[in-house]
Chain A
Amino acid sequence: MSLKNHQREISVAIAITALAAVLAIAAPGYFAHENLSDLFLANIPVLVIALGMTLVILTGQIDISVGSVFAICSVAAGVLAKSGLPLPAAALAACIVGGGVGSLNGALVAYAGIPSIVVTLASMVALRDALRWQTQGAWIQDLPRDFQWLGLSQGAYPAAAFLSVALLIVLFAWGLRNLAAGRAIYATGSNSEGARLAAIDTSLTTFSVFVVAGVLTGFAAVLNSVRFNQIPSNTGLGLEMKVIAAVIVGGAAITGGVGTIAGTVLGVILLGAIGPALTFLGVSAYWEKAIQGGIILTALIIDAARARE
């Protein structure tokens, strides 16, 4: 089981180290506090949502609606904050909206037995278009002052965000290892019928991971929205693919049952660090996607080779 098999985490960590080594020699400016802070802030959505996506993929499912849910939650948080709701309430509401969509997705997958790719494709398209229709494409502007930077100073926000995200990561990594619920996730994803015969409620497990993914998407939307003074209604386009790519590069098997939070975090770091690194190294930014694709392909080829052993 993946708990003791850390090959992928190690190889991704090596890749990150290699990249860091090249940057340290060729472009030491990359490690300036400013740049690293920006890099982290820009990758918050992918990182936070990837935690939920890891659970979904471990269970043997997929959720491609997170980009649309992210947009809805961002807009909801902004609209509610503008209407005078205090920030904690608006943030909570965004998480509830995310959890609501997640529970709808989860119920259709776990209890109606519809394949998750179809269910979440439907919610991805439907939510995105519903939002477009509702906002008429307009951005949410004139956000209240205490919404900005969570009401903190611009300098304090990155530290606060970093702490809360780090706490989330630790919580998820620890829970997946030490809670019975984590065990249920791995068992369901490894062998759903076998888990059911061992009296694990596989439907509840599947339902729950979609809810968690939804809530985290809402939380990510809040952490992201407060950085700007306006919220584009088309935010989060293509976010689901970045998230899934990071989870896969981090070693999670798309068929379920294999993967770790540590792997996912490393996957996010590797894919997130590449783009700006190219700029620093003077390589055309147009290469970013191609290189990311190459990394994903490499990871999958390694998986396939290992499966054949």
Chain B
Amino acid sequence: MKILEAKSISKAFAGVQALKEVSFDLLQGEVHALIGENGAGKSTLIKVMTGAVQADSGTLVVGGRPVPRNDPAIARSLGIAAIYQQPSLFPHLTVSENIALALETGGSWRKVNWKERYRCAKELLGRIGASIDPGRVVSMLSMPEQQLVEIAKAIGAEAKILIMDEPTSSLTDREVESLFTVIDLLRGHGVGIIYISHRLEEITSIADRITVLRDGESIATRRRDEVDRLQLIRMIVGRELAAVFPKRDVPLGDVALELHRVGNRTRGLRDISISVRSGEILGVAGLVGAGRTELAETIFGLTPADSGEILLRGARAQISSPSDAIRLGIGYVPEDRRQHGVILNMPITVNTTLATLKTICRRGLIDRIKERHVAEGYVRRLSIKTPSVYADLQALSGGNQQKVALARWLAIQPSVLILDEPTQGVDIGSKSEIHRLMVELAERGVAIVMISSELGEILGMSDRIVVMHGGTVAGVLSRQEASQENVLFLALGHRTLICP
């Protein structure tokens, strides 16, 4: 029996089509896995079901009845519950209070029945075989224990449909197994479970059916026994690349940056050995949480490495702060431009020169004419569209903001440039301009490290590709070996390659 059905759901965010006529259904007592790359539309589809966002078109049918309007309260009353990667509990309250807050109804002035709260929490936890004391404070619980509390909450709300978003990403193998026991139990009680995970081995062992999303479209829905992992990977990546990239072959120079067994315990990195030559574009691929941004921040000295060594042009380098990195000629354009890459309420002039203040100062004084010249130079060179170099960054489009973020780091005349998601949320035109600029920089001998979640960009722009998984390098692919399947295979933690 279908307990949930999504019919041709479409949703666009700021012109980007996140979901295109996606259809999906869930049977009673079934585990239905939802898989796809980062940005394939999984989260959006879930948000439509939980009422966090409104679909632009399409219908949602729950328990045989269409839901004309959805919001989080309606979704809850329909028996839809979601458990996210990071449990969303109140850390300073006890387990029983957390469960009660989700379940109890009544006015603000009612008297709390503490005994009943405790008993109810204990009973719900017991139903999923968890032996957590309901009196414990949530912040003292381990991650899997917190997940169990979330599940108990969902069961208490008599959820018929349970959505689990990457529930195993922070669990150990043993913890995963006990979670699966709980999932089996729920399945036995007739709960339908939508299960999202990047771990294909888990999916092929727990899921009854699997739906693959790609670029906001539903590619296929298969029973578990109809597909193997390789087929799933092929479906996830698709066949052809979407865009043409301006990559040109550049004669490679000497090794500009080399990492030798670099580790950073606080950021979860270990044993990373990579090198990039001048003129080379080194792509860094991996899933969210693989440690790519952490690697960039380690090289840049934001969170200095605690083991291994970093060599610049063959010489050992001590990078313990961003200013060390800048002195050594390393630039870093961070991910999340609006938060970290630029300062939105400051003009282009200030943003462009922020990392090179010393070079536009004469005897400690900012030389405003020089500042303007530098900014104007980059506005021309990167064709940044703006009425004036004194315009605040918030007045510019995303693509132009990103160019300013780039300009700031070009101003240090880098020999190594780390770009973290350089074209995320950037319009197509600016995107190819940024790609052209990267090629131009490579031709001038800059070594470029490009972190990207977009497989097409990784394959289209890189000379070599480092694939990360679980905080370390899972493999390095040459241009010949580089294929979507191989990148994804390594990113998912498999050791062997599929033939090119």
26 A-B pairs whose Cβ atoms sit less than 8 Å apart in the complex: A4-B390, A178-B366, A179-B364, A179-B366, A180-B357, A180-B361, A180-B364, A183-B350, A183-B354, A183-B366, A186-B350, A187-B346, A190-B343, A191-B339, A191-B343, A191-B344, A194-B343, A195-B343, A196-B302, A196-B322, A197-B332, A197-B334, A197-B340, A198-B354, A198-B408, A201-B323
Within 8 A of A (CB), among B354-409: 354-355, 357-358, 361, 364-366, 368, 390, 392, 408
Given A177-B366, A180-B358, A191-B343; 4 other pairs, CB 8 A cutoff: A180-B361, A193-B340, A194-B343, A197-B332
Which B residues are CB-close (under 8 A) to A198? 322, 354-355, 408
CA A196 – CA B301 in complex, angstroms?
11
Interface presence of B490 (CB below 8 A): no
Which B residues are CB-close (under 8 A) to A4? 347, 390
Q: Nearest B residue to A177 by beta-carbon distance?
A: B366
Q: How far is the CB of A172 from the nearest CB of chain B, in Å?
A: 15
Interface presence of B341 (CB below 8 A): yes
CA A193 – CA B334 in complex, angstroms?
11
Instruction: List residues of chain A with CB under 8 Å of any chain B CB.
Output: 1, 3-4, 177-180, 183-184, 186-187, 190-191, 193-201, 257-258
Task: Give the residue among A180, A184, A187, A258 with the most B Cβ atoms within 10 A.
Answer: A180
CA A197 – CA B418 in complex, angstroms?
12
CA A179 – CA B408 in complex, angstroms?
19
Q: Nearest A residue to B346 by beta-carbon distance?
A: A1
Which B residues are CB-close (under 8 A) to A1? 345-347, 350, 392
Assess whether B321 is in contact with A199, with CB atoms less than 8 Å apart.
yes
Q: How far is the CB of A175 from the nearest CB of chain B, in Å?
A: 9
Assess whether A187 is in contact with B323, with CB atoms less than 8 Å apart.
no
Q: Which residue of B334, B346, B390 is within 8 Å of A190 (Cβ)?
A: B346
Query: Which 9 residue pairs of A and B lie closest in terms of their CB atoms, listed nearest first?
Result: A199-B322, A198-B354, A180-B357, A198-B355, A1-B346, A191-B343, A199-B323, A190-B343, A199-B326
Scoring B residues 328 to 353 as 1 if CB is less than 8 Å from chain A, else 0, what string do you get? 00001010000111111111001000
Q: Size of chain B's interface in residues, with CB distance under 8 A?
A: 30
Contact residues of A: prevailing secondary structure: helix
Which A residues are CB-close (under 8 A) to B390? 4
Task: Give the residue among A187, A199, A257 with the most B Cβ atoms within 10 A.
Answer: A199
Q: Nearest B residue to A174 by beta-carbon distance?
A: B365
Which B residues are CB-close (under 8 A) to A183? 350, 354, 357, 366
- Given A178-B365, A179-B365, A180-B361, also A194-B342 (CB < 8 A): yes
Interface presence of B488 (CB below 8 A): no
Which B residues are CB-close (under 8 A) to A184? 357
Which B residues are CB-close (under 8 A) to A191? 339-340, 343-344
Q: Which residue of A193, A200, A201 is within 8 Å of B339 (Cβ)?
A: A193
Interface presence of B325 (CB below 8 A): yes
CA A4 – CA B345 in complex, angstroms?
12
- Given A1-B347, A199-B355, also A194-B366 (CB < 8 A): no
CA A196 – CA B334 in complex, angstroms?
11
CA A199 – CA B223 in complex, angstroms?
52
Assess whether A197 is in contact with B322, with CB atoms less than 8 Å apart.
yes
CA A201 – CA B358 in complex, angstroms?
13
Q: Nearest A residue to B327 by beta-carbon distance?
A: A199
Q: How far is the CB of B146 from the nearest CB of chain A, in Å?
A: 26
Which B residues are CB-close (under 8 A) to A193? 339-340
Q: How far is the CB of A308 from the nearest CB of chain B, in Å?
A: 14
Which A residues are CB-close (under 8 A) to B361? 180
Which A residues are CB-close (under 8 A) to B340? 191, 193-194, 197
Q: Nearest A residue to B357 by beta-carbon distance?
A: A180
Q: Which residue of B350, B365, B392 is within 8 Å of A187 (Cβ)?
A: B350
CA A156 – CA B354 in complex, angstroms?
45
Q: How far is the CB of B375 from the nearest CB of chain A, in Å?
A: 13
CA A201 – CA B361 in complex, angstroms?
17
Q: Nearest A residue to B360 by beta-carbon distance?
A: A180
- Given A179-B364, A180-B361, A197-B334, also A257-B322 (CB < 8 A): no
Q: Nearest B residue to A4 by beta-carbon distance?
A: B390
CA A184 – CA B346 in complex, angstroms?
12
CA A177 – CA B340 in complex, angstroms?
23
Q: How far is the CB of A206 from the nearest CB of chain B, in Å?
A: 16
Which A residues are CB-close (under 8 A) to B354? 183, 187, 195, 198, 200
Q: How far is the CB of B476 from the nearest CB of chain A, in Å?
A: 27
CA A178 – CA B322 in complex, angstroms?
24
Which B residues are CB-close (under 8 A) to A186? 346, 350
Task: Give the residue among B325, B340, B392, B408 with the most A Cβ atoms within 10 A.
Answer: B340
CA A179 – CA B366 in complex, angstroms?
6
CA A257 – CA B355 in complex, angstroms?
18
CA A202 – CA B430 in complex, angstroms?
32
Which B residues are CB-close (under 8 A) to A190? 343-346
Q: How far is the CB of A37 from the nearest CB of chain B, in Å?
A: 35
CA A180 – CA B302 in complex, angstroms?
21
Q: How far is the CB of A221 from the nearest CB of chain B, in Å?
A: 29
Q: Nearest A residue to B301 by beta-carbon distance?
A: A199
CA A182 – CA B53 in complex, angstroms?
43
Task: Give the residue among B343, B350, B364, B365 with the most A Cβ atoms within 10 A.
Answer: B343
Q: How far is the CB of B359 from the nearest CB of chain A, in Å?
A: 10
Which A residues are CB-close (under 8 A) to B355? 198-199
Within 8 A of A (CB), among B179-208: none
Assess whether A194 is in contact with B339, with CB atoms less than 8 Å apart.
yes
Task: Give the residue among A184, A186, A196, A197 with the most B Cβ atoms within 10 A.
Answer: A197
Q: Nearest A residue to B390 by beta-carbon distance?
A: A4
CA A194 – CA B355 in complex, angstroms?
11
